[in-house]
Structure formats: structure tokens, C-alpha cells
A and B are shown apart, each in its own frame.
Chain A
Amino acid sequence: MDYYFFIDLIQSLVDGLLFGTTYALIGIGFTLIFGVMRKLNLAYGAAALAGTYVGLAASLTMSLPPIVVFAISALGSGVIGYIVYLGCFRFTPASHPMASLLASVGMLLFIDELVIHLSHGMPYPYPSALRNAELTFGELWIRGDLLFVFGICVLAMGVLYWLLYRTPLGLATRAVSQQPRAAQLCGIPTERVNALTFVIAGILGGTAGAMTAAAVGVLSPVIAMGLTTKGLIVVVIGGLGSIPGAIIGGLMVGAAENVFQLLRGVTERDIYVMLLLFIFLTLRPGGLFGSTAGRD
């Protein structure tokens, strides 16, 4: 094996894992909503992007440090997440799951078009933190901004874990997730919990959108479809409803994408990622951490 190839392989793996944390965040958002409400919100990626644009708009109107822009993006996405909940899930009868799924598809297209219309499809510079910093280990180097993205994602996951397992809100969320009727009988306001879950998932999505844009340094509406697709792949691989699964799935997809790009080129890269998805769907439909499903 050629020395430079070996270095490239390690570097691709490292870069992929760091990028994979943004996929993990998106995956956690998807899985959180699915885990709690048993509904897929396909507008999630678009809402994350729209929230990122809220942060961008703030940074274009006033001079703000990157961390504040990221926070505004996350909060903006949380608010949009709540609007998506109201528009697609709150008033849709639970007996018609397809209605809310299709409503979320409609919302995805609507948000996407709105963002494109307002931004004229133009790419805009998005602030990055630690842009010029880097860690060097011989031939290998780690981008400071990606390390920052990684740190923010890990922090967001940690906060989520704390929220879910150390707070009354988390207890209520898990109760609604496991036994919605029993939770209601215990006096837990399920609609409020559902709405809060959407807001929290939205904040995670906004963080992922902000970190993706910060990693590229440019924000464009083309990011939305990638966020949605990657998020769905991550939850299938990790297991719908499993937060550890979404984290591992996100890192796996990020690493696989980068390594396959190095080994097989960009035109074949996605074939192998989709093959990975196909293998999981056929051999382990519950994903890495989901329950094993019965077969025909």
C-alpha cells in the first residue's frame, strides 16, 4: 500500500467522522420525532435549513460573532419546527398517518421554495468558528472548524441526553413515547410534550444546518435535500427511535461517504452509501440499535 494512499485513507476517515457528527444531529432529530410520535417529519431537513437562514439573515443585518449566529440558527429552526408541528401534525388525525407524512412532504417543498425565493438561490457566506486553526500530526491534520463542529455536535447530543434522562420534561417525553394513553391518564399533557419535542428536534436540526454551513463556509438552498436524505439514511442504519443508533449511524455514513469517495470516486460514492442502506433494510431492517423485525 502506497504511503500517501494510507495517509489519505486515514485523513478521509477522520474528516468523514467529523462531518458525520452533523449527520448524527439530523438523524437524532428525525429519530426523536419518530420515537415520540411514531410519525416521520420529512420537512425536518428543510426546516433546519430555513432556521440556518434565520441566523444568516441576522448576521447580514448586524455584525455578530459566529457562536451567536449559530445560536440564532438553532432557535430559528426550533420555532420553524413548532410551525411544522402545528401545520402537519397537531390537527391531523392520528388514525391517518399517511396524511401527516404527506403534509410534511408538502411542507418540505413549501419551505424549500420559500427559502429559494427569498434568497434567490444565491450562495451566501456563512461564518465559521476557528476557521484558520488546525491540529497537525505529521502528514495528518484536523481542521479547527471541523473540530469545533464536532465539539458543538457532541455538546448538543450531551444536552439532549441530559434533557431526556435527567429532567421532568425528558421523563414526560419518554412516557409519551412508550405509552401515550397511559401518559395522558397520568396527567402528562401529551400535545405540549409533542410540541416541545418538535422544538427540541428543530433546535438540533438548526444546529446541524448551522454546522454544515459553517463547515463549507457557504450557505445555499441545495443543502436541504442532502440534510433530509442523509438524516433518513442515518436513522435507518442506526434504528428508528434510537438516539445512540443515530449517533453511530451518522458517524458511519460520514466516514463511509468520505472513504468511498477516496476509493471509488465521487460518481460511485453514493452508490456504496445506498448499498449500505439497502443491506441494512434487507438484513437488519430495525437498524443497529432497533428491534429485530420478523420476516416473511
Chain B
Amino acid sequence: MKFNTLAAASIAALTVAMPAVAETTVKIAGFGASSGVVGVFGQNSSAAMQAATETINAEGGITLANGTKAKLVTEYYDDRCNAEEGISVLRRIATTEAVVAVGPTCSNVAEPLFGILQAKVDDAGDTGLQFPIFTDVAIKGGLAGISEWVFRNTPSEAAMYDNLFGWLRATYPDAKTVFGGVEEDFAHSRFTWYQVMKVAAEKHGFEVVGEGQWLLNDTNFSNQARAMRRAEADIVAISAHPFTTCGMLREMDRQKIKPQVLVGLTSSSSLETLTGCANEAEGLIIPTSFAPVNDAAKFAANAVAAKGGALDLHSAAAWENFMILRDVLNASAIEGTAETIESDRRKIRDALAALKTVEGLLGTNQRLPDGEAVKPYVFVGAKDGGWSVVHNPGS
């Protein structure tokens, strides 16, 4: 009895004294604007990344080359939507144990930031950074072509608006004219109006009868709305972010401008627009690559909401990126040690480059050779203070 008590005590003491076996972890860094006026984008992406990490870890984590399991960890770095800070943040991430990074938020950060990466893999003469990036938010088209280390899971706005204006042509046969409103000093808004919306509208036989321009910080939209009122366009397309979209919509309401159709920018299909001007935005139609239309999307939306974020087309891409990276990490047999970090990063890059299709929240996403993606999308409309699907081109 005495011996048994002694043995039990010894085992208990040994159990307590024995160091816990360290859990292997693999880090995916997130970065983007989580402060500043567009900080809500980064905050939502960060919440989506945390929620996705927890979901993946709850399912057992990822499998390393030696067959052991590792947990994912993530950390979000703030670049404040500033190009210099973005470059500095990426260089800092590259010195950590992160094997891949998801970001950035802003296209004006993405463009110069991708420029510091090695343009072509295995180019010995190019001393650019060799670090894989899988972009979730920065949406300006064609940026992945800058470096073979860049992959993007952002929707193709060209395809979405082309389809949208085609659908408008069929749904509103009486509509003939379009008036465009654009936030001139924001890269994404400007690009989307001049290179995407306007082109798509004209392609589908609409006549662009005028344009109104304003700046991101503007508070007076009377001149632009007056030109819009005089143009009497059937469709008004606003390529601007929520603050000025709301400012313009309010001014349109004041000047009693009631077009048949209102079209908005992809980035405005968010909670922000509805928080700012739900009444004036009623009827606003926007193409988006996310809407909680199926079980997977609803599950992701709830998981992200539990982390204090909101799932929209941008943060949904962050969620999808983590799920895609889980599969990539499992398939690419990384070792997950400090000594193998460079080869692990290369394996991830090569595995991302080899992807042809991946499963996203709205269905199958196509991966293109240049690192871009073609994603399923729907058209949502603002209705009764929420977004509801008005048309699903894939159905």
C-alpha cells in the first residue's frame, strides 16, 4: 500500500515535471489596412483569417512532410493602406517564420509591393524578395502579372461588370443611357469606372451621356449631381467607396434624381454602405463574389461574425485563401522547420502556381496561369437595409 502510494505520487510528480511536447506550428501572415479610413477592410480580413485558422485547427490542422500534424497560427500586420509601410511590413514578415502571406488591402499598396518581389522564379539575376503572397482584397485588375510569387483570389471585375451590363440590357430593354460617377483619387474606383464599367456599358450598347468626378474626402456633390440630373440617364453607375457613395446618393435624393437602375462599385457591397445610407442606397445593384447563399457561406459568415468581423467579398476571399492554403500545405509536403523555411516557401509558391481550380464559398474558382482567379459571383441589391441576391449568373 505504501509502495503503491509512493509509486502513484512519483508518477504524478513526473507527469507534472515533464516538459510538455512543443506543438509544431506553421504561420500564415496576414497584412493590409487595419487602421485608417479603410481599416474596416483589414479588420474584417483579420477576423476571417482568425476564424479560418480556428476552423482548420479544429479539424486537426495540417500535415507536414514527415506525416505529423501541425497547427496553423496567424498574425495580422497593419500597413495603413500606405505603400511604403506595406513594403516595410512585407520585409518584416519575410524575416519571421511565416511561410506565406495573405494581403494587402489596397491596390495602391499592392502594385509597388509586388514590384519588390522576384519577377521570374529562378532568375539568378533578380535579387527581388522570394516570398509567396496570396492576395485577398486589392482588386485592381492584372496585378498578379508583376511577379511569379504573387497569386490573387480577387474576382475579375471586368467579367462581373461585363455580365452585369449584359444582364441590364436584357432586363431593362428601355434603358439606353448611363451616367458615371467616379472617385478620381482612388486607384480602384478610377480604374473600375474608366477601364471596366464604362467599357462594359458601351460594349452592351449603352450610351455614356456624362461623368461626374469627385475626391475621396469630398463633402459637396452638388455640381456633379446637377450634371447628372440634366443628363437624365436611365442608369447611374457610381464607382466610389461607401463614404462618397453615400454622399452622392444623398445629393441625388435631394435633387430628386431617380434613375431606373443604380449600379455600385464591388467594394461598396458591404455593411458600411448600408450603415451610412441604407434608405438612399435602396435598389443599388452591385456584382459581388460573396453572398451567404449556401451552407458553406453561411457557416463562414457566422464564424467570422463570432470573431467580430463581417464577411463581404473581400474578407470572404481571406477565408477562402486560408482554406486553399490548407490544401496547398497538405499537398506540398513542407517540413515546417526554421532550416527549411526557404524551401517551404518555394514549395508553397509552386503548389499555388500549379492549381487549376479550387473550391470557394460560392462554387469552383478557376486559377489562371498568370496568378489571377475567375470566381463565381452574384448580383446583389440593397433592399430593406440588407443585401439580397437579385440575380445569380451561375444558376
Give the number of chain B interface residues (Cβ < 8 Å): 33
Chain B contact surface mostly: helix
Beta-carbon contact of B277 and A221 below 8 Å: no
B343 to chain A minimum Cβ distance, whole angstroms, is: 40
Nearest A residue to B183 via CB reads A266
Residues of B within 8 Å of A182, CB to CB, are none
Beta-carbon contact of B254 and A143 below 8 Å: yes
Residues of B within 8 Å of A125, CB to CB, are 246, 275-277
A278 within 8 A of B: no
Beta-carbon contact of B35 and A116 below 8 Å: yes
Task: Decide: A258 near B220, CB < 8 A? Known: A4-B230, A116-B39.
Answer: yes
B213 within 8 A of A: yes
Beta-carbon contact of A123 and B243 below 8 Å: yes
B228 to chain A minimum Cβ distance, whole angstroms, is: 13
Beta-carbon contact of B277 and A222 below 8 Å: no
Tell me which residues from 146 to 183 in chain B have a Cβ below 8 Å from any Cβ of chain A: none
A106 within 8 A of B: no
Beta-carbon contact of A116 and B246 below 8 Å: no
Cα A11 to Cα B218 in complex, Å, equals 18
B40 within 8 A of A: yes
B226 within 8 A of A: yes
Beta-carbon contact of A121 and B223 below 8 Å: no
Residues of B within 8 Å of A257, CB to CB, are 220
Residues of B within 8 Å of A266, CB to CB, are 184, 213-215, 218, 224
Tell me which residues from 244 to 268 in chain A have a Cβ below 8 Å from any Cβ of chain B: 257-258, 261-262, 265-267
A64 within 8 A of B: no
Of the candidates B219, B275, B276, which one forms a contact with A212 in the assembled complex, judged by CB atoms under 8 Å apart? B219
A225 within 8 A of B: yes
27 A/B residue pairs, CB under 8 Å, sorted by A? A4-B230, A8-B226, A15-B223, A116-B36, A117-B35, A120-B40, A122-B40, A122-B242, A123-B242, A123-B246, A125-B275, A125-B276, A145-B254, A212-B219, A215-B219, A217-B247, A218-B246, A218-B247, A218-B250, A218-B276, A220-B37, A220-B243, A226-B217, A258-B222, A265-B213, A266-B213, A266-B215
Q: A116-B37, A222-B243 are in contact. List 17 more A-B contacts (CB 8 A).
A: A11-B226, A12-B222, A15-B220, A19-B220, A120-B43, A121-B36, A123-B242, A124-B275, A131-B254, A216-B219, A217-B246, A217-B250, A218-B243, A218-B276, A223-B219, A257-B220, A266-B184
